[in-house]
Structure 1
Amino acid sequence: MVTWKNLDTLESYQELKNTARVNLKEVMSGENGAERVKKYSVPMAEGMAYNYAAKAVDDQVLEALAKLAKEAQLTEKFAALYNGEVINTGEKRLVLHHLTRGQLGDKVEADGVDKREFYLEQQKKVTEFANKVHAGEITNAAGEKFTTVVQIGIGGSDLGPRAMYLALENWAKKNGTFKMEAKFISNVDPDDAAAVLASIDVAHSLFVLVSKSGTTLETLTNESFVKDALEKAGLDPSRHMLAVTSETSLLAKSDDYLAAFFMDDYIGGRYSSTSPVGGAVLSLAFGPEVFERFLAGAAAEDELAKKENLLENPAMLDALIGVYERNVLEMGCTAVLPYSQALNRFPAHLQQADMESNGKSVNRFGEPVNYVTGPVLFGEPGTNGQHSFYQLLHQGTNIVPLQFVGFKQNQCGSDVVIQGSTSQQKLCANVAAQIMAFACGKEDENQNKYFAGGRPSSIIIGEQLTPESLGALLSHFENKIMFQGFTWNLNSFDQEGVQLGKVLAKRVLAHETDGALKAYSDLLNI
């Protein structure tokens, strides 16, 4: 039987707090470090590996983490989730994003339907629509093919799909699967929509409106902005627009859209990249087969997350090392540092996924917790970050755990030798150097040039960023967030923290304000 307990009530957590601290600088130096790199590595799906040699852990810490995983029933809680129990206690909902890419356990029925079959049906509808667009069977009013797809959404309806598109754009161009350019409109700032519309030929563009409820203010405002532009160009908006929404929303049966693809309340926006929220734009941009490969990579990594052995479960291990750093070593931030330009928006997506999920101060029963929970997450691609915030990471007063991501091959398939090495070799040399610089530091009598070291990092290493490895990478971090939420006894699947501002904004627009809110409204000339 699964029981939900606060972290500080678990005996294994007390044992974890009492484990001896690891001198990272010492264990990573010399041949000891070489042995650690070989030893502390876990295979991931699609030929990738999670290497945690440069984390401040040893066998004693890992043993304590394994006990914590067992006492916190992480494997059982994941099974409860994918077998269809109500895990989202705040909204009394199932959590089913894993089902969009595979059946992990029992058949899950909700709303009178088999949910795996429902998600497959929606994927099939997206596939058929995308194939017709690519074949020229669905065209604009002039009978011309569409060349651009524009996603209109915000939050999870934008960050994830945008990050995935950018991650695969150059790969698709190199491998001959690039079908349509994709653009994204998210910010209610009119400059966002205006800039995108100015960069495209609206007559040859499809617009994908993403709103589960059909009431998201920013998204509907941007839809009106786009419709106005289409009408001014003498075009019928209903010939250019699709909807991704719930079956019960006002958008579902509207004649304003060429087609509607459905999501449901069991998939949160930040976990929706493997649903039609990501499926429509990615299938139109790269072809349905590429999207299916992306799903396959995610499904393969999900299977690893089922493993009970902590040292065979990369997402769970990553999660618990993060809990150790956050709650025992008292490190408040995490930096995600992909050494791949294609992943330049991946940290922004993870920022939402992590901080919206585990940025909570009450447990899943609404009771205050007496320990810290989700970290502040930020990041940028290497090597740009090295010339920016790495100064603080190396020599600042706070120690920030780091998560590197690196690939042995680039996506473009071409490179040049400059000063005896290729660009890709230089990129990989930089990430290897940074791991060791953070771990071991540098002695110097000049304190301005002294590096204390002892700054922990892990790295996910793959051969190349492909649809499959991208799917596996996404799954890894989604499941890491889930396992951390379970450990902290949080509900990681609602986001009440984003609601208050929306409510107050509506009051401002309705001129129902007083006090400081009215004063700020007046300052902004609303």
Structure 2
Amino acid sequence: MVTWNNLDTLASYDKLATMKKRVNIVEAMSGENGADRVARYNAPMAGGLNFNYAAKEVDDTILEALAELAEEAQLVEKFEELYNGAVINTGEKRLVLHHLARRQLGKDVIVDGVNKRDFYVSQQKKAADFANKVHAGEITNAAGEKFTTVVQIGIGGSDLGPRALYIALENWAKVNNTAKMEAKFISNVDPDDAAAVLKSIDVSRALFIVVSKSGTTLETLTNEAFVKDALEKAGLDPSKHMLAVTSETSPLAKSDDYLEAFFMDDFIGGRFSSVSAVGGVILSLAFGPEIFARIFDGAAEEDKLATNKDVLKNPDMLDALIGVYERNVQGYPTTAVLPYSQALSRFPAHLQQCDMESNGKSVNRYGEPVNYATGPIIYGEPGTNGQHSFYQLLHQGTDIVPLQFVGFKKNQIGMDVVIEGSTSQAKLCANVAAQIVAFACGKDDEDNNKKFEGGRPSSIIIGDQLTPESLGALLAHFENKIMFQGFLWNINSFDQEGVQLGKVLAKRVLAHDTDGALKAYSDLLDI
């Protein structure tokens, strides 16, 4: 039986809190000391990835203290309760089953007589069968032509994760001859978003996926109506071009307006839903079901590692523990995610939602205020673009920002050229290596404008190439990191009440039920 306690009540945390600034990262990463750390401070991940934390402000003593914290906080045991079907989402009184959607880790989870694993497998098969029929030309438009484009209409978790995964593999799929359909995404209720997508495609050969778990999401339903209007104006029957991904209890599930409906689950939050039908339908249509299966295979293998009680062999938990040390002991309020891969250009945006919507809480699981910091602010951009943008502040600003790099030895497309003795890929990899050392060690100079203090901690996840398996492992790594940090902070990482108030007030504005500042802003915007 696990116990849920606030972080500041744990004896192991009190011990860890005495170790602030124990490690001088400039000295630790300089010369042969640095070479030794790079060799030793590694944790293998799934998908051929490796988590290297040599440039973090930890040493063996701190790692031992983190292991004690993990044991006292019962992190692995709490994860075991989660995947075995405990009601971990205390705010909504729900199970948390996105791990089960990719593979069974523990015992059967039965809800209202339904084996949830069987449910997820059935929806994966349904999506695969549908995609195969579309690719084979068994499902066509009214003119008997194959569909060539698939458009996802959703917002938040119904958009960010699937979009990031699609962009990550778009070029890989083309090179490996697995690209089946072009994918587009409509999310913003700004009409320019939907209009731009519609003008860029042949709507007569497009399938549109409406994604909303509740079937009541205002932005999504507005964009659905926008698309239906465009289809009707083109002389097309919307019901022959539209699919739904929703819950079985949603109004969308019972509608005849859709060519097919696929079901997501109340026990999977939107930001964790990329491995469910939310991502499965569009990615299976875009790349083929086999490629989507490889993504969640990589995620499932990473989940296995997250069950290991040995902190040094559990990269997801280790990353989470180091992050809590940085947030709560070192006092760093932000984290930058910096993928040195253009294919991961939208991955930081997905993690921004996944982390900040999950752990942006100021009360614990029981609704009681906590008196310590919780989730950090997450942001990021791909390298090397970011180097010519906000890295100035990261290197020489007054705030220390922990960094999480991601890099790959090989590019996806295979095209490259040698310029001045090295390839573009070699230059990319040289830049990420240089940045890690520059942030850690700095540079002394008599001119303070040119002086770099160093001492800026970072980690890097390194892989051979960004593939479906490594992408799945990367996705699961960060999802599990967020989960473990929520456990440590004793907060509910699986609801998102903070997004609701604005929705309620927006409906009041549209109904002209306003007063005070709300009415004044409505007047300013001419609503």
| Superposition TM-score, scaled by structure 1 size | 1.00
Secondary structure of the 1:373 match is coil
What SS does structure 1 have at the residue aligned with 2:251? coil
Off by >6 Å, runs of 4+ in structure 1? none
1:477-501 superposed Cα distances (whole Å, 9 cap, x missing partner):
0000000000000000000000000
Equivalent position of 1:474 in the other structure: 475
| 8 Å contact kept, 1:97–1:272 | yes
Distance 1:6 1:340 in 2: 38
Given that residues 19 and 60 in structure 1 are in contact (C-alpha distance below 8 angstroms), is that contact kept between their aligned partners in structure 2?
A: no
Counterpart amino acid of 1:234? G
1:9 maps to amino acid: T
- What pairs up with 1:260-339 in 2 under 5 angstroms? 260-339=261-340
CA distance in 1, matches of 2:211, 2:278: 7
* Partner Cα distance (1:414, 1:397) in 2: 40
Structure 1 residue 111: Cα displacement = 2.7
Matches within 5 A, 1:429-468: 429-468=430-469
Q: CA deviation at 1:253?
A: 2.2
CA distance in 1, matches of 2:29, 2:463: 22
Structure 2 residue aligned with 1:181: 182
**Any residues of structure 2 matched to 1:399-418 within 5 Å, and which?**
399-418=400-419
Instruction: Please tell me the residue identity of whatever aligns with 1:325.
Output: E
Gaps of 5+ in 1: none
Instruction: Please say if 1:507 is aligned against 2:524.
Output: no
Q: Please name the residue that 2:11 is paired with.
A: 11
Shift of 1:388: 0.1
Cα deviation, 1:219-276, whole Å, max 9, x if unaligned, reads 0000000000000000000000000000111111211001000011100000000000
**Rounded Cα–Cα distance in structure 1 between residues aligned with 2:19 and 2:453:** 23
The 5-angstrom pairing of residues 75-474 of structure 1 reads 75-474=76-475
Alpha-carbon distance in 1 for matches of 2:217, 2:47: 37
SS in 2 for 1:182: strand
Distance 2:374 2:462 in 1: 27
Is the 1:338–1:405 contact (alpha carbons within 8 Å) kept by the matching residues of 2?
A: yes
The superposition leaves residues 73-117 of structure 1 with CA deviations (integer Å, 9 ceiling, x where unpaired) of: 000000000000000000000000001110000100113200000
Q: Could you give the per-residue CA deviations for residues 100-153 of structure 1, whole angstroms, max 9, x where no partner exists?
A: 110000100113200000000000000000000000000000110000000000
Q: What is the identity, as a one-letter code, of the residue corresponding to 1:401?
A: P
Cα drift, residue 414 of structure 1: 2.0
Partner AA of 2:9 in structure 1: T
- The one-letter amino acid of 1:5's match is N
Which residue is equivalent to 2:72?
A: 71
Q: How does 1:485-524 map to 2 (within 5 A)?
A: 485-524=486-525
Query: What is the aligned partner in structure 1 of residue 2 from structure 2?
Result: 2
| Shift, 1:19, TM fit | 2.2
1:460 is paired with a residue of what secondary structure? strand
1:28 aligns with 2:29: yes
Secondary structure of 1:493's aligned partner: coil
Distance 1:163 1:19 in 2: 38
Instruction: Work out whether residues 100 and 116 of structure 1, in 8 Å CA contact, stay in contact via their aligned partners in 2.
Output: yes
Distance 2:58 2:152 in 1: 43
**Counterparts of 1:15 and 1:414, CA distance in 2:** 52
The one-letter amino acid paired with 2:238 is P
Structure 2 CA distance, aligned partners of 1:185 and 1:79? 37
State the secondary structure of the residue aligned to 2:253. Answer: coil
TM-score after normalising by structure 2: 0.99
Deviation at 1:47? 1.5
Q: Distance in 2 between matches of 1:192 and 1:19?
A: 49
2-structure distance, mates of 1:250, 1:212: 10
Deviations 1:283-340 (A, max 9, x none): 0000000000001000000000000000000000000000000000000000000000
The one-letter amino acid of 2:346's match is: R
CA distance in 1, matches of 2:428, 2:361: 37
Q: CA RMSD in A?
A: 0.5
Q: By how many angstroms is 1:415 displaced?
A: 1.0
Tell me how far 1:278 sits from its aligned partner. 0.2
Of all paired residues, the percent bearing the same amino acid is 80
Q: Which amino acid aligns with 1:303?
A: K
Pairing 1:29-68 to 2, within 5 Å after superposition: 29-68=30-69
In structure 2, distance between residues paired with 1:190 and 1:72: 47
d(CA) in 2 for partners of 1:19 and 1:151? 48
Q: In 2, distance between residues paired with 1:69 and 1:125?
A: 40
SS at match of 1:94: coil
Structure 2: distance between partners of 1:34 and 1:268: 42
> Which ranges in structure 2 are unaligned for 5 or more consecutive residues?
none
Q: Distance in 1 between matches of 2:75 and 2:100?
A: 19
Counterpart secondary structure, 2:471: helix
Q: Distance in 1 between matches of 2:502 and 2:49?
A: 40
- The Cα shift of 1:413 comes to 1.3
Distance in 1 between the 2:179 and 2:49 partners?
25
Matched positions, count: 526
Report Cα offsets for 1:383-428 as digits up to 9, x if no partner.
0000000000000000000000000000001211110000000000
